[in-house]
Amino acid sequence: MTESPATPTRPRLPWFWILPIPVALGLGIVIGMQIAAPGDASPAAAVAQQDPSPVQAEPAEAQQRINVERRDANDPTAVGELEAPVVMVAYSDYQCGYCAKWASESLPTLLDKYVAGGQLRIEYRDIMFFGENSRQSAELAVAAGKQGKYQEFHDAIFAEGATAKDADYSAKGIAALAGRIGVEAKQFTADAAHADTAALVQKNHDEAGALGVTGTPTFIVNGRPLIGAQPLEVFVQTIDEELAR
């Protein structure tokens, strides 16, 4: 796992939210939350070899809210209306097998049912638990987002439940990927290498560490944490509850 700098950038949270955050997010360890792609040879792979057990969300009124949404109109890795009533922050890693599982099994319905209708905004926070490939994937994702193609990049990497583990990030491979997702290749490459891109990826990674995120995927829906690649029904229930508030 990539370590965060000694003094990570921490989100500004009220003091009475700080204590419940690591407790809630730390449930990922107990339920065997995915922190490595299935079959990965890294030591982290031994932590989770099975699907995480579902964790039922607490009633909305009983939960402490975690305020990490940004609602930044210039956020290159967000999709959906800026003023959508529900914001889901998604901490994910492009080498994470369960992130790919969620992206292929649950995300398409959320995009069609809620994002397209203006009810949900997804703020992706791609982090770097697996080193260089994760970092490069996250930076390319930001670069795609700068051309308005973040979701296309996300879908291309996670197509059919795959991950970026075997992605071709050579100059030729990146040019081919640019063609697949519909971005201009030279700008795509330049934006991925820009210092601002690296800073945003590091900011997202540090934020996850400050919140106590120990594995991916981890979601925060209008301040309510959901741990792991939960069934679609859990996301639908949570979003519908927030829409009804």
- Rounded CA-CA distance 14/67 in Å is 9
How far is the CA of 77 from the CAs of 56, 121, 183, 199, 224, in angstroms?
28, 11, 15, 14, 20
Q: Which residues of the chain have pLDDT under 50?
A: 1-24, 26-57
- 3 state SS of 87: strand
The string of pLDDT tens digits covering residues 8-59 is 333 344 333 444 444 445 444 333 344 443 434 333 333 333 344 344 445 5
Q: What is the rounded (10 degree) CA torsion for 115, 38, 66, 137?
A: -70
DSSP-derived secondary structure letter, 77: T
- Which of these CATH numbers, 3.40.50.720, 3.20.20.70, 3.40.30.10, 1.10.1500.10, describes 64-244? 3.40.30.10
pTM of the model: 0.78
Paired tokens of 173: 């491979």
Q: What is the residue-wise DSSP string for 145-198?
A: HHTT-HHHHHHHHTGGG--STT---SHHHHHHHHHHHT--HHHHHHHHHSHHHH
Paired tokens of 201: 């990826």
- Asked whether the beta carbons of 143 and 197 are under 8 A apart, the reply is yes
> For position 64, what pLDDT does the model report?
82
